[in-house]
Structure 1
Amino acid sequence: MDLTAVRTFVAAADSGQFQVAAAELAVTQQAVSKRIAVLERDLGVRLFTRTARGAQLTIDGQAFLPHARELLRVAERAVDSVHAGRRPLRVDVIASRSAQSALMRGFHRAHPEIDLDVVMLFDIDKAVAAIRSGAIDASFRAVAAPGHPLPEDVKSVRVLDENLQLLTGPAHALAGARSVTVAQLTGHRIWMPGIVPGTEWTAYYDDLVAEFGLTIEATGPNFGSDALLDTIADTPALATFMGADSRLVWPAGHGLRRIPVTDPTPVYPHSLLWHRDNPHPALATLRTHLAATAAVRNVAGTWVPGWAIPR
């Protein structure tokens, strides 16, 4: 459908005068008449009745008007979606309850005027491809994991080191501890079904296992965080790792324990990735916000893999 004709129809319907519509659209009255005539021919109905007072909508014209307005709104949204600064800032996070989501919620509270689209891609390869294609503006990832070098046109900055905690059920041998050292975890089964070969978080936990001799199991399907919490609550022999900033909700009867890990404290490094030529004005605002609130803990008593070095 010719959107120029639809726009002309709406202008004529609102003004009730072809001459007024012509002035608003900066065209001649004859052009308005021709556009409306083409639209009427395409639809197979009369949209206006000409009177001494101007142009009045027919019954068909009245029926078509709200749909014509919606066509123009959809067209405007379609154009906005591909113009940086007019479309929402698209940001990728790993999960809705993750520390990355918490960072974006903080950004939204600080800048409610900025429209956001928050998406969840699977791994760093998909995130980098989406950044380079323009499908997203930024992504939170752990970089630069082995096997995942960043292209030269993708930039990154480390914005958050998230402490890992041990999550146990009430009957676990370590459930009563106020904190545990990494050495105390040796021999305990840490169940993490979300570990998928080739992902950046798998590279992180592989290095953690190699460094401290821990036992991390990824057996069984990953049914999501709710199923994981149910299993940990009911299985005394199992524990899992959770980020200290991850938002978790579980039934009161689960009796789960979140226990700080020390000596050293493993921290998961979160970085922001973006394309060096991305023109979206809100991207600079996001980077400035994260720089002011960044919590990077390169201090004694913490551990990150050797490849997790800020760029």
Structure 2
Amino acid sequence: MQTEAIRAFVTVCDQGSFQAAANALHLSQPTISKRLASLETRLGHELFDRVGRGVALTEAGRAYLPHARELLAVVQDGRRALDNLHVETTGPLRLALSHHVGLHRMPEVLRAYVARHPNVTPEIVFLDSEAACRSVVNGDCELAVITLPTPPHPGLVEDCIWNDPMSVFVGQDHALANAGQVNVADLARYPAVLPPVESYTYDIVAAALAPYGLTLDPRMTSHYLETLRMLAGVGIGWTVLPTSMQHPELTRLELPGVHIERRLGAIRHPRRSLSNAARALLTMLDARRD
């Protein structure tokens, strides 16, 4: 079965329409339609319901999609295995980075990497850690360097590179900024601004504060820690940030007995071959392990 037709199917699913898929693959819309019709004929099932200009997966389409993704990943795996026969470290490196890791941990690593391996073409996408895990599972990215999930993702291999201690911060004009001795119960009287409840960092914060009876109910949420730092700094609520993000507009609260820490590192798929480019980056990351 031709991989071009399978790639067209997956791209339509990801892009949401035939035209968007055609644009993404640099093809005409009739070509996309022809490839999908050929695939449906081969499979003996319609994969999409055509509703006006939009498309929706049929039951058969939903059942086939994860297998289609896996087929494309296996094809890419074979190409990497052949590329690895060459001694040189060349070619593309599809890498996902979380925003915080990309801004605060990776610049020196990437600077050294591109200097050492000038024939590698990094293709970097910035994603939330949860989406980055999905991109590695689906085969869209070889590696991701992110906040590692707790507990570990059951379908991925992780390599912890950095421990990232976190602290509770408030703006300098917050009532708790000059309150002296502060405990977790005091936080409950004030609104919080935190990462989204579905994020790995939220889970880590919630697990650290739950033993003290604090149930989190954030006033506002954002995946971007720099945004949370700003919101806390102007007094909208207390927040939890990496301790390294201390800022003149913030006051760090000392909470007796509370220890909050994330693990940052690389994740990869255990059943897929890594390119020489990806292996070289992992080697450089391991050298920076805390």
Given residue 238 of structure 2, which amino acid in structure 1 is its aligned partner? A
Alignment counterpart, residue 150 of structure 2, candidates 145, 149, 168: 145
1:282 and 2:243 correspond: no
Number of positions where the alignment pairs a residue of Structure 1 with one of Structure 2: 198
Partners of 1:157 and 1:294 in 2: CA distance: 9
Contact 1:93 1:120 (C-alpha < 8 Å) held by counterparts: yes
Contact 2:172 2:233 (C-alpha < 8 Å) held by counterparts: yes
Equivalent position of 1:266 in the other structure = 260
Q: Residues 226, 145 of structure 1: CA spacing in aligned structure 2 closer, same or farther, 3 A cutoff?
A: closer
1:102 and 2:117 correspond: no
Q: Once the two structures are superposed, what CA deviation does each residue of 1:254-290 show, in whole Å capped at 9, x if it has no partner?
A: x333456664432111231012333321222222222
Equivalent position of 2:166 in the other structure = 164
Partners of 1:155 and 1:144 in 2: CA distance: 11
Q: Residues 225, 136 of structure 1: CA spacing in aligned structure 2 closer, same or farther, 3 A cutoff?
A: same
The structural deviation recorded for 1:239 is 1.3
**CA RMSD of the aligned region, Å?**
3.4
Partners of 2:277 and 2:256 in 1: CA distance: 38
Given residue 89 of structure 1, which amino acid in structure 2 is its aligned partner? L
- What secondary structure does 2:106 align onto? helix
Equivalent position of 2:201 in the other structure = 201
Contact 2:160 2:266 (C-alpha < 8 Å) held by counterparts: yes
Give the gaps of 5 or more residues in structure 1: 1-81, 296-311
Partners of 1:263 and 1:103 in 2: CA distance: 28
Given residue 160 of structure 2, which amino acid in structure 1 is its aligned partner? R
- What secondary structure does 2:177 align onto? coil
Partners of 1:161 and 1:239 in 2: CA distance: 23
Contact 1:93 1:101 (C-alpha < 8 Å) held by counterparts: no
Partners of 2:179 and 2:262 in 1: CA distance: 22
Partners of 1:223 and 1:203 in 2: CA distance: 13
Partners of 1:163 and 1:144 in 2: CA distance: 15
Contact 1:190 1:216 (C-alpha < 8 Å) held by counterparts: no
Alignment counterpart, residue 118 of structure 1, candidates 115, 124, 127: 124
- What secondary structure does 1:268 align onto? strand
Equivalent position of 1:191 in the other structure = 192
1:87 and 2:91 correspond: yes
The structural deviation recorded for 1:161 is 1.1
Q: Once the two structures are superposed, what CA deviation does each residue of 1:152-204 show, in whole Å capped at 9, x if it has no partner?
A: xx3111111101022221122443589x8xx723321362343233x322322
Equivalent position of 1:12 in the other structure = none
Equivalent position of 1:11 in the other structure = none
The structural deviation recorded for 1:102 is 2.7
Contact 2:225 2:241 (C-alpha < 8 Å) held by counterparts: no
Superposed counterparts of 1:63-78, under 5 Å: none
TM-score, normalised via structure 1 length? 0.52
Partners of 1:274 and 1:201 in 2: CA distance: 20
Q: Residues 87, 167 of structure 1: CA spacing in aligned structure 2 closer, same or farther, 3 A cutoff?
A: farther
1:136 and 2:141 correspond: yes
Partners of 2:219 and 2:184 in 1: CA distance: 19
TM-score, normalised via structure 2 length? 0.56
Structure 1 or 2: more helix by fraction:
2
Equivalent position of 1:55 in the other structure = none
- What secondary structure does 2:161 align onto? strand
Q: Residues 89, 173 of structure 1: CA spacing in aligned structure 2 closer, same or farther, 3 A cutoff?
A: same
Q: Once the two structures are superposed, what CA deviation does each residue of 1:117-139 show, in whole Å capped at 9, x if it has no partner?
A: 33222343x32332234321211
Equivalent position of 1:45 in the other structure = none
Q: Residues 223, 123 of structure 1: CA spacing in aligned structure 2 closer, same or farther, 3 A cutoff?
A: closer
Give the gaps of 5 or more residues in structure 2: 1-78, 84-88
The structural deviation recorded for 1:229 is 4.0
Contact 2:206 2:215 (C-alpha < 8 Å) held by counterparts: no
